[in-house]
Structure 1
Amino acid sequence: MSMSGMGHMSMGDGVPGLFYLQKIYWAVVGSAIAAGTVVNLLNRFLACQRLRDTSLTPSKPKSLFFSTYATLTAVVREASHATLPPLSLRGRTYHFAPLGPVAIILANLVVVLVFCFYKLDTTDQWKWEDVGYRTGFIAIAQLPLIFLLAGRQNLIGILVGMSYEQLNWFHRWTARTLWLTATIHMGFWFRDWGRYNYIIYELKTYTLATRGFAAWIILTFIVITSAAPIRQFGYEFFVLQHLVTFVGFIAAVWLHAPAEVKVWVWIPIGFLVFDRVARYLWVTYANLSIFHRSKNPKSGLWANRAAFTPLPGNVTRVTVEDPGIRWKPGQHVFLTCHSIVPLQSHPFTISSIPEDNKLELYVRAEKGGTRRFFRYASKHHDVLGSGEAPAKQTRTVFVEGPYGRMRPLQQFDSVVLLAGGMGATFTMPCLRDIVAKWRAACASSKHTRLAATKCIRFVWVIKSRTQLGWFESQLQSVLADIEQCKLANPDIIREIEMSIYITCDEKLEQQAQSSLCAETQPRRQTAVAENMEVSEKISEKATAEEKDNVSINSGCRPDGTCCCTAAIEGEDAIAETKCNCSGHAAKPPESDSKYLRRLNALSGRPHVRTIIRKVLEKAEGESAVVVCGPRGLSDDVRRSVVYLSDERAVHKGTGAQGIYLHVEQFGW
């Protein structure tokens, strides 16, 4: 199975050399990355141009070049966001990746297979060795791409404007393409040896074959254990075994590969070292207090200390005052707290904005480390969700990040933010950031444009009224800021509409194990009871012009909990819905009732296509749709955006403006 000396060996007239094919493969990959880089640079230029534009429609293309670019972008978006409906099989729902990422993976697969068999006759048994050599060279040339797509400090992500967690999906499927190539490589050598019944003999006596077979076995194990069900079963175990098996795989490939192709092993090792060194240097800067003495001169060795507060729904709020990092809305960090959860690091979305001067993370207790956070927070509070932890109860934490990339939302004319359950930790800072820019622009005497956004539509789907307490103060501050802007400058168009949909869909918020609830039940019984007694009463504002059909399911479960899960197509038709299953009519406080009225709280499920359509019909420039939540909600939003883009013929002569879609989720 040796590849030594084969790089320049001729396999026949017109058959390209092995080294040449490796270079051509990377020419194709490099061209794709370069195209993504050009698009990223154009989008960055557009963002700057829109904020400098003094016209009334800054988010609308003004030149022939950008009009053409907008049309091409709309066509590509419609195709790339198209998603097949989920498949339900034996009580389980399977979701599919969008067409765009799938097309990129299939394109890479086609390129790899073409290079494996180009001008080689697989039916000729005397050419099987040539196929074995060719596929080996193509397989090892894919290693650098896999490592480039895996790092958190991601060079490809920086160039094309994507975050590492989005590229991680490509990392997994590129690794599966490598496995297929390695399997073909091994299969043709086995096929060649099988003619003489030499397969077992070669594996026992030929060292190079033994090492190659070992590398294939390790790679197969990595591919199998990287499947979603296994990753979700035990993430900490997955990370540990992934690192161990990776070291074994690289060692086996190194021993199997001849000296002339070992460069393809050195390159990924170099990428790995770069990623680790960059991460460790950044973590050191972010967490050592010596670099942040100006913020807290009396701090000890470590810069970041966190307070842990339990909230309804088995959620822990982690607050780090004066953190050692700066971030943008929508980014996340990896949090480590060795005194509570030793030797574990978990990613959490940053739910605060930089102006808060504090890092806030909301952690739902499920299992493992997140459950320990909630147990610790519950033990140090008398009543669930009451007040902040005493200063003496803060713990040293280590943060890594921030990570995450998204086009700045302030460049869009209209922004639609949709969240399900804990997904609001992503959309809430996006909402507050735009409103903060509105407030700063209204307070400025220079009439500078900090945001081109004129309209914000905020939708949050939650299981129960108690979950509103997670972001109640933030929502109230947003409403107050909007009122101040209108008073300061009533001529500027600044519109915001918020809707809270209350439903008992278990897919939105999975409850923690009963043992966890039982442990903290005595301490939080009073607070939970008070919150659950608040009925979802909203004032009615029916109109005669709008008569959308609305079906509300206000049934109750046997345990008395609410089951408002029907879809609401038209909010203008019915703005008051009742879902009181507590067994008694509890009247909410007057202040609470007014607050809910301003938020437009509804009992049911949103009809996202109708919500998005109404925003697009008023938009005078490109709009942004951002969603974070369950897979079902994300898929529904994708299909709705594709449908509306096609229906409205975006940038195809109708005057309808573009729709940028960002779906926040870890992988597909």
Structure 2
Amino acid sequence: MMDMDMAGGGTPWLDQPVMLHSSRADTCKLTKAQCAYRNSRWRYWYEADHVYGLNTVYFMCAVIGVFAISHFLVLFAPDCVKRTWIWRTTTSASRYLAYRGYRFPMLQYWSPSLGVLALGLVGAVFCFAMTLGPKPYYWPTDASYGSSPPIATRTGWMALGLLPFVLALSTKANMISALTGVPHEKLQVFHHWTSYAMFVLALIHTFPFIVYHIWSGDMVMEWKTSVVYWTGVVALIAQTYLTVMSLPAIRNRYYEFFKSTHILVAVVFVVFFFLHCDFRLSSWDYFIVCGAIYLASLFAGLVRTYLLHGMHTATIEVLPSGLVRVAVQTIIKWTPGQHFFVRFLTRDLHLLTAHPFTISSACRDPDRTGQASELVFYIKPRGGVTRRLAALAAKNPGGSKRILLEGPYGGVSAPHMNSFDTILVIAGGSGGGFSLAMVDEALRVTALAASAARDGRDCRRSLQVVFATRDSAMADWYVEEIESRLSRSTTLGCDPECGFETAVSVHITSHRNSGLSSSSESSADVKGTAGKLPPTEITTTGSFSLNVHRNARPDIPGLVARTVASAHTHGTHVQKKQRVGVLVCGPASMLHDTRNAAAIAQKRALGGEVEELYLHSEPFAW
């Protein structure tokens, strides 16, 4: 589909002799003016890979570079720099962009953050400018300049330039995460968007050839005789499938089918795209890079899974709440909010695929405790693997399965967690497991606060936990788990005056099985759901209060605002600006409300009322 003279008769798939790069030798037989027009920078076919392919690579690398520099500044900048007005202003502004989102009720759509949208807009401007800026789109008819329409040439190279980044953004252990500090699951939106951009560029690459050959009257002949058309069509069909199936509405509804076919179709796409390029200019260099990226990620995952972690045995049971509890004894270390990809070694649970589950327990130091840590997952059965897992657990309660673990990935760093003076944990539904891990970790680090107390500093901190669920059974489970953790915190041996002031609120949002019918009753604190809840006031290491609300949704914007205001008041009292951590896991609406509330509250950080306001969010789906 591009101009290239090859020696030899060729094969059904590749021209002969096969080389890494095709020749750039060129002889122009047109007039001097026409040759100058044909050979200008933005139109010259024999340098199109450098002008369009490499420029696309440079653009992507520049974007990644900006975030990499920002990441390393955050890691290594001294505290005196981080307390300056410029640093605080920049951090607050960037976090506002990272948190602020928009909701479109008619479409049932919650947008990515304003910063992500802005970054997508920058990428769209680049692609449109490179596609539509240079002229012409088709060659003039006063001479034979070539059979490749200029707009098709440039979009083909731009699509190829995006391919390594599409692949890199899809992998779990990748260089982009290492450089920018952004975990792989939060890069998935960019994997989707670069894939969409590549697909649009591929379409713009394809149709001008069809138009050109229809104009020339040889479309049928080209289709019958040119293998490059066949390889291009197969690649485009595979790419169409990948793009359409990855749309959130389709992917989430048919996730198991999408997951089982995605890699197979992706291989078909890459193979036929490789054959379609037919070593034109430097096209195969991009496939070499893709192979290196994928193999490096695959190798890192295999080393972690088989050499560092090895085989584990998981105990599986179904809880009265309907959740499946998977527990693993291990010496693997992890940090709060991280997740593992779990592969169950049984044919009933898709032996060949691994599924991500968020950790619901804190990591203990085996040298200190004298025993391995318990890695716990609480899984909400929905469909596919999780439904079959629940069926197996119900058939054999407390049974064990051999598993492989890849990870951990994502999460909140332990040093960051330790720095918070006020922690607000918000969770909904099966996100309760995430919140339990955060509570475990917060209680674990109270020992560090106790050591600070010996230096004569005020170390009392605040922990607030808000959990929302639709049914009473889930509320029973959560209250039992949270009470157990807070009761065990007395074993930490911390100074009673140095710990967390802890408040837990459980909201049952559905009228079903609630036993209540009036809104006036729903606002009252109750002593139990199905008679299982403990008293509303419980005393543990510090002070602990538990409030259960029926038929009432938590006021998340007000909750975040009050938490930050309270931190400011406490910081004024102890003459120390507070650091506030907001940690959330739940449905899209909950994440949207929390993100926007945290974005608005950045004004307090900007005004110096609090030292820092940090948000960590975990969606149910990426």
* Cα distance between partner residues in 2 of 1:579 and 1:395: 35
| 2:62 is the counterpart of 1:31 | yes
The aligned amino acid for 1:357 is S
The aligned amino acid for 1:353 is A
1:76-100 deviations in Å (ceiling 9; x for gaps): 22234222223235xxx23222222
Matches within 5 A, 1:210-249: 210-249=230-269
| 2:119 is the counterpart of 1:104 | yes
In the superposition, relative to structure 1, how do residues 348 and 447 fare at CA in structure 2: closer, same or farther (>3 Å)?
Answer: farther
| 2:76 is the counterpart of 1:69 | no
In structure 1, runs of 5+ residues without a counterpart are: 51-61, 289-301, 382-388, 505-555, 581-585
Q: Among residues 186, 189, 205, which one is paired with 2:225 in the alignment?
A: 205
Say which SS state the counterpart of residue 83 (structure 1) adopts.
coil
Q: How many corresponding residue pairs?
A: 559
* Cα distance between partner residues in 2 of 1:221 and 1:566: 49
Is contact 1:329-1:429 (8 Å) kept? yes
Is contact 1:148-1:271 (8 Å) kept? yes
Which shows bigger deviation, 144-153 or 635-644? 635-644
The aligned amino acid for 1:37 is A
Residue in structure 1 matched with residue 128 of structure 2 by the alignment: 113
Is contact 2:460-2:499 (8 Å) kept? no
Shift of 1:125: 4.5
Is contact 1:286-1:400 (8 Å) kept? no
Shift of 1:286: 4.4
* Cα distance between partner residues in 2 of 1:78 and 1:401: 30
Shift of 1:188: 1.9
Residue in structure 2 matched with residue 2 of structure 1 by the alignment: 2
Matches within 5 A, 1:330-479: 330-339=337-346, 340-343=348-351, 344-355=353-364, 357-381=373-397, 389=398, 393-407=399-413, 408-442=416-450, 454-472=461-479, 474-479=481-486
* Cα distance between partner residues in 1 of 2:42 and 2:177: 35
Is contact 1:3-1:133 (8 Å) kept? no
In the superposition, relative to structure 1, how do residues 563 and 107 fare at CA in structure 2: closer, same or farther (>3 Å)?
Answer: farther
Say which SS state the counterpart of residue 195 (structure 1) adopts.
helix
In the superposition, relative to structure 1, how do residues 448 and 13 fare at CA in structure 2: closer, same or farther (>3 Å)?
Answer: farther
In the superposition, relative to structure 1, how do residues 36 and 656 fare at CA in structure 2: closer, same or farther (>3 Å)?
Answer: same
1:410-467 deviations in Å (ceiling 9; x for gaps): 2233222110011121122122212211135427997699x98832221111233432
Shift of 1:124: 6.0
Q: Among residues 566, 571, 590, which one is paired with 1:618 in the alignment?
A: 566
In the superposition, relative to structure 1, how do residues 613 and 186 fare at CA in structure 2: closer, same or farther (>3 Å)?
Answer: same
In the superposition, relative to structure 1, how do residues 45 and 471 fare at CA in structure 2: closer, same or farther (>3 Å)?
Answer: farther
1:232-274 deviations in Å (ceiling 9; x for gaps): 2332321221111111111111111142211111211221111
* Cα distance between partner residues in 1 of 2:421 and 2:610: 13
* Cα distance between partner residues in 2 of 1:249 and 1:565: 58
Shift of 1:367: 2.1
Q: Equivalent pairs: percent with the same residue?
A: 23
Is contact 2:503-2:545 (8 Å) kept? no
In the superposition, relative to structure 1, how do residues 666 and 42 fare at CA in structure 2: closer, same or farther (>3 Å)?
Answer: farther
* Cα distance between partner residues in 2 of 1:409 and 1:453: 15
Say which SS state the counterpart of residue 122 (structure 1) adopts.
coil
The aligned amino acid for 1:625 is V
TM-score, scaled to structure 2:
0.81
Matches within 5 A, 1:24-173: 24-45=55-76, 62-63=80-81, 66-88=84-106, 93-122=108-137, 125=140, 129-173=149-193
Say which SS state the counterpart of residue 434 (structure 1) adopts.
helix
| 2:584 is the counterpart of 1:661 | no
Is contact 1:411-1:452 (8 Å) kept? no
Residue in structure 1 matched with residue 503 of structure 2 by the alignment: 497
Residue in structure 1 matched with residue 284 of structure 2 by the alignment: 262
In the superposition, relative to structure 1, how do residues 3 and 660 fare at CA in structure 2: closer, same or farther (>3 Å)?
Answer: farther
Say which SS state the counterpart of residue 103 (structure 2) adopts.
coil
In the superposition, relative to structure 1, how do residues 563 and 213 fare at CA in structure 2: closer, same or farther (>3 Å)?
Answer: farther
In the superposition, relative to structure 1, how do residues 439 and 358 fare at CA in structure 2: closer, same or farther (>3 Å)?
Answer: same
* Cα distance between partner residues in 2 of 1:448 and 1:481: 26
Shift of 1:478: 4.4
Say which SS state the counterpart of residue 423 (structure 2) adopts.
strand
Is contact 1:415-1:453 (8 Å) kept? no
Say which SS state the counterpart of residue 464 (structure 2) adopts.
strand
Say which SS state the counterpart of residue 590 (structure 2) adopts.
helix
Is contact 1:307-1:395 (8 Å) kept? yes
Shift of 1:41: 1.9
Which shows bigger deviation, 495-504 or 267-276? 495-504
The aligned amino acid for 1:285 is L
In the superposition, relative to structure 1, how do residues 79 and 6 fare at CA in structure 2: closer, same or farther (>3 Å)?
Answer: farther
Shift of 1:398: 1.7
Give the RMSD, CA atoms, in angstroms: 3.3
Is contact 1:441-1:448 (8 Å) kept? no
* Cα distance between partner residues in 2 of 1:7 and 1:114: 26
In the superposition, relative to structure 1, how do residues 633 and 444 fare at CA in structure 2: closer, same or farther (>3 Å)?
Answer: closer
Say which SS state the counterpart of residue 614 (structure 2) adopts.
strand
Is contact 1:95-1:631 (8 Å) kept? yes
Is contact 1:503-1:565 (8 Å) kept? no
* Cα distance between partner residues in 1 of 2:288 and 2:154: 20
Q: Among residues 577, 581, 590, which one is paired with 1:633 in the alignment?
A: 590
In structure 2, runs of 5+ residues without a counterpart are: 5-21, 27-35, 365-371, 568-576
Is contact 1:3-1:257 (8 Å) kept? no
* Cα distance between partner residues in 2 of 1:240 and 1:587: 44
Residue in structure 2 matched with residue 541 of structure 1 by the alignment: none
Which shows bigger deviation, 308-317 or 332-341? 332-341
Is contact 1:316-1:362 (8 Å) kept? yes
Residue in structure 1 matched with residue 369 of structure 2 by the alignment: none
Residue in structure 2 matched with residue 274 of structure 1 by the alignment: 296
Is contact 1:149-1:168 (8 Å) kept? yes
* Cα distance between partner residues in 2 of 1:488 and 1:411: 19
The aligned amino acid for 1:33 is I
In the superposition, relative to structure 1, how do residues 102 and 67 fare at CA in structure 2: closer, same or farther (>3 Å)?
Answer: same
Residue in structure 2 matched with residue 284 of structure 1 by the alignment: 306
In the superposition, relative to structure 1, how do residues 498 and 641 fare at CA in structure 2: closer, same or farther (>3 Å)?
Answer: same
Is contact 2:527-2:548 (8 Å) kept? no
* Cα distance between partner residues in 2 of 1:475 and 1:257: 58
* Cα distance between partner residues in 2 of 1:28 and 1:364: 41
Say which SS state the counterpart of residue 614 (structure 1) adopts.
helix
Say which SS state the counterpart of residue 442 (structure 2) adopts.
helix
In the superposition, relative to structure 1, how do residues 588 and 417 fare at CA in structure 2: closer, same or farther (>3 Å)?
Answer: closer
* Cα distance between partner residues in 2 of 1:465 and 1:369: 25
Residue in structure 2 matched with residue 22 of structure 1 by the alignment: 53
The aligned amino acid for 1:456 is L
Shift of 1:14: 5.2
Matches within 5 A, 1:289-328: 302=311, 304-321=312-329, 323-328=330-335
Say which SS state the counterpart of residue 276 (structure 1) adopts.
helix
Say which SS state the counterpart of residue 88 (structure 1) adopts.
helix
